[in-house]
Every structure is written in C-alpha cells, then in structure tokens.
Amino acid sequence: MLPLKDEDRVRLLSAVAKRSTSFEAIRVVTMTLSLAIVAAVPLMGIVRIDLWQGHHLRLQEGVDGIGALKGMVIALSILYGFTFLTNMVVGRFFCGFGCPVGYVSRLGEKVDRARKTRWLRWLEHLRGAGFVAAFVAAVMLWWVDPRVLLDGSLRARILTLGIWAALSAGGFFHAFWWRFAFCVKACPIGLYYRYVTSKAPVGIVFNESPSKCIECGACETICPVDLDPKRLGESLVVRDSDGYEDERYGDAECLRCGDCVAACLLVFAKRQGEVAPLRIGRLTPHKHETPTANQSKISA
C-alpha cells in the first residue's frame, strides 16, 4: 500500500498519461540520448580506464593509466559543462529530463500505475529492470573493456557480471523504494545544482491572468519532490509528519519535470475558454527572491 500522497500522484500520473502529454515523449527522447552518450564515450574509444586488463583508451589510442585518467577528467568535465550550461538556462532541467537515476524512479511509478493488470505490471517491472541494467552496463563500460567477458579469466568474468548484477539490483531497489527522496535528500549533483543554477531564467510560471487558479491541489499532489508549484519563488520551512523542519527552496529544487503543468492542463482541459495558470516560461525577477525571515512559512 502506497502512502496517500503517492497513491494520488500515481492516479494523477495515469490520468495525465492518457492525454499523452508532450513532456513524457520529450523525456523518452532525452533519456535515450543520455544513455546513448554515456555508452558511446567508451564504446567509441574516446576514453576508458580498464580496471581488469589495462586496455586503457583515450581518443581511440591505447594509453597508460595516467593518460586515461586525464582523458576521463576531460570527458567528465565536458559532460558536466554541458548539463551545467543547460541548467543555467532552464534550472534543474537535467534532473527532470536527462538524469537516468531520476528516470528510474519514474519507471517504479509506472509499475504502480499498472497495478490492476498483472501482465502489464510484469511488463513494467521488466521495462524498469531493462533500463536499470542498460544504464549500469553503460556506466561500467567506462571502467571495463567488455572483451573481458570473452577472453578474460573465469574470475574476471564472474566478478564483472556479479558487479553488474549487484549494481542493477541496487538500481532496481532505488526504483521501488527510495525514488525521488533520493533527488531531494541525497543526490550530490542535485544538491550542488540547487545552489549554482538557482537563478535560471526559465522555469515553472504561475500566472492567474487571464484565468484564476481553482485551487484544486492537483499540481502539489503530482509534484514528485513535494513542492508547491504555485509558490516556487518563495522559501518555505516545511514540517514533516514527525515534526522535523526542513527548508525548501522552491525554484532551486524544482526539477522542471513538467508534471505540475501537465496536471494543471488536465484540470483545465474541460474548462472551455480558460487558460491553465501553470506553464513553463520565463521567470520574472521576483521569482528569484532570496529567503528572508518574512517569507518563511511553516506548513504542516
């Protein structure tokens, strides 16, 4: 049994999915691209530090460990720079649309959405497991030459497959247990982006002109990281059910996943002539107010 908020989120996600929003289609494309880039770098010989057999690579040439390490630092810096520049413009867009770890959480939710049909549930389990296994394999290609599975020692083959299976099992566990709590509480990249890209000019805009918000709560319910999309420009102190207080930085924590916009569009779909107050767009300066004592609020 899922907690109440998650139950409602899953129900809303199912309703949104039936309208086939463009966000999900975009996410499939960007996620495939992310995975393809991670796998392509070592497969094309751009860089690899081969921990088993020392078949280190840099720009398709065999190099020693130090040379490969330098290549690794450069490759990771380029990948990081690319996500950083994207996030400088659209906030934590990479978290919402490019991060495979975040996407794994979504695959777990797809299993929840399919819970009434057993075969569909199994299919979603398989899809989630397949994605996790592919992602782990892509990451391992940076550290292991796959030829070890053909001509390596028995020990090397067993260990390589064992590490792949253990990491995949960990990813699968993440998909069904930890989910987006990881993005909020533990992801070091997310934590970093929360501060350095918090003034991105594009994000979730709440504008009640020309149509008023009907305060249905759908956007808050569907938000995977428990934000209030109508108040992302504010800094809030939130108290959880155990009484612990936590500071939330709205706009800096928003993953730009688009779920709230999709939910609001769904709510307004039947309201002829009205415009959904939530959208993705350019943020006005007041959306970037820094936290002050007056702005902080306690919500249960």
Determine, following the binding rule CB under 6 A, whether residue 214 of this chain makes contact with ligand SF4. yes
Closest distance of CB 186 from ligand SF4, Å: 16
* CB-count burial class (<10 Å; 0-12, 13-18, 19+) for 133: middle
Determine, following the binding rule CB under 6 A, whether residue 99 of this chain makes contact with ligand SF4. no
d(CA 72, CA 91): 26
* CB-count burial class (<10 Å; 0-12, 13-18, 19+) for 261: buried
Stretch in the footprint of ligand SF4 (CB under 6 A) among 12-20, 75-83, 166-174, 252-260:
252-260
Provide DSSP, 79-110: HHHHHHHHHHHHSSHIIIII-HHHHHHHHHHH
Q: Is the peptide bond before 201 cis (omega within 30 degrees of 0)?
A: no
The DSSP letter of residue 277 is S
Determine, following the binding rule CB under 6 A, whether residue 132 of this chain makes contact with ligand SF4. no
Determine, following the binding rule CB under 6 A, whether residue 256 of this chain makes contact with ligand SF4. yes
Bridge partners of 245, per DSSP, are 239
Nearer to ligand SF4, 124 or 220 (CB): 220
Contact 221, 263 (CB under 8 A): yes
Please pick, from the candidates 116, 215, 241, 270, the single residue that binds ligand SF4 as defined by CB under 6 A.
215
Closest distance of CB 183 from ligand SF4, Å: 9
Nearer to ligand SF4, 114 or 267 (CB): 267
Taking residue 124's Cβ as centre, other Cβ atoms within 10 Å add up to 20
Determine, following the binding rule CB under 6 A, whether residue 252 of this chain makes contact with ligand SF4. no
Nearer to ligand SF4, 155 or 270 (CB): 270
Please pick, from the candidates 49, 114, 257, 283, the single residue that binds ligand SF4 as defined by CB under 6 A.
257
Which residues contact ligand SF4 by CB under 6 A? 204, 213-219, 222-223, 225, 227, 229-230, 254-260, 263-264, 267, 276-278
